[in-house]
Amino acid sequence: MDTVVAHRAAPDKRTFGLVVFLAAESMTFAGLISAHIILRPGQEAWPPPGQPRLPAGMTAVATAFLLISAWTAYRALSRAGEAQGAEKPWLGATWALGALFLGIQGVEWAQLIGHGLTMTSSVYGALFYTVIGFHALHVAIGMCILSVTSVKALAGRYGPDEHTGVRLCAVYWWYVVLVWPTLYVLVYLL
């Protein structure tokens, strides 16, 4: 009697690598969020006297751009599965929305520094720049990944049969977007 041996397809190494990386990053973000939660109650005032309030309204606009970019990343992935090259405009839109998010944060940081909020001005400043800066770094990395993915898309590397690069790019971007609302509420609104 012949036995049938079931073969499982090996998981894609790139996908596995991204999952491991995002798990590690999740632990780092959890540590930063925990530091904020633990250190904040020990302060007499939040923000401390002489330190500016964070511009929650300006950041709400940046948040809207980032949340919309999750949809454009979704459109890039869904279009990549439909036709070769169809993902290109959506990758570009995602990149542009990420650039708007970072641009608004850059303006915000310049204003806050001008009002005396720095890494060394207080625990408030140190936590703000560490937590929000770590996220901004991830957005910048995401924009680099979007750029590389876009160049590959322009070269015709993706199509209905092979678009793993677009999928991995979108998953990373969604992670960056998913982390942000927690940081926004914790740092800007509470």
Whole-number pLDDT of residue 37: 94
pLDDT digits (tens, 9 = 90+) for 106-151: 999 999 999 999 999 999 999 999 999 999 999 999 999 999 999 9
User: Averaged over 55-68, what is the pLDDT?
Assistant: 97
The Cα 149–Cα 144 span in angstroms is 9
> Is residue 68, in this structure, part of any structural domain at all?
yes
pLDDT digits (tens, 9 = 90+) for 164-178: 999 999 999 999 999
Reading the block at residue 188, the tokens are 């800007």
Closest by Cα among 98, 70, 89, 86 to 163:
86
Q: Quote the pTM value.
A: 0.90
Residue with the two structure tokens 């919309």 = 68
> What CATH number is given to the structural domain containing 62?
1.20.120.80
User: Averaged over 149-170, what is the pLDDT?
Assistant: 91
Assess whether pLDDT exceeds 80 at residue 6: no
Whole-number pLDDT of residue 9: 61
Q: How far is CA 10 from CA 15, 17, 23, in A?
A: 11, 13, 20
Name the strand (E) or helix (H) holding 93. helix 88-114
Percent of residues, the chain, with pLDDT higher than 70: 94
Q: What are phi and psi of 119, to 5 degrees?
A: -60, -30
Whole-number pLDDT of residue 108: 97
- Pick the range with the lowest mean pLDDT from 25-34, 94-103, 153-162: 153-162
> Is residue 1, in this structure, part of any structural domain at all?
no
> Is residue 10, in this structure, part of any structural domain at all?
no
> Is residue 46, in this structure, part of any structural domain at all?
no
Beta-carbon contacts of residue 98 (< 8 Å; ≥ 6 apart): 65, 66, 69, 139, 142, 143, 146, 173
Whole-number pLDDT of residue 4: 55
Assess whether pLDDT exceeds 70 at residue 180: yes
Domain count, the chain: 1
> Is residue 114, in this structure, part of any structural domain at all?
yes
> Is residue 163, in this structure, part of any structural domain at all?
yes
Whole-number pLDDT of residue 42: 87
Whole-number pLDDT of residue 14: 92
Domain span at residue 141 reads 23-37+54-189
Contact 139, 184 (CB under 8 A): no
Whole-number pLDDT of residue 7: 55
- Indicate the average pLDDT of the chain: 92
> Is residue 168, in this structure, part of any structural domain at all?
yes
> Is residue 93, in this structure, part of any structural domain at all?
yes
Q: How many CB atoms lie within 10 A of CB 127?
A: 20
Whole-number pLDDT of residue 5: 55
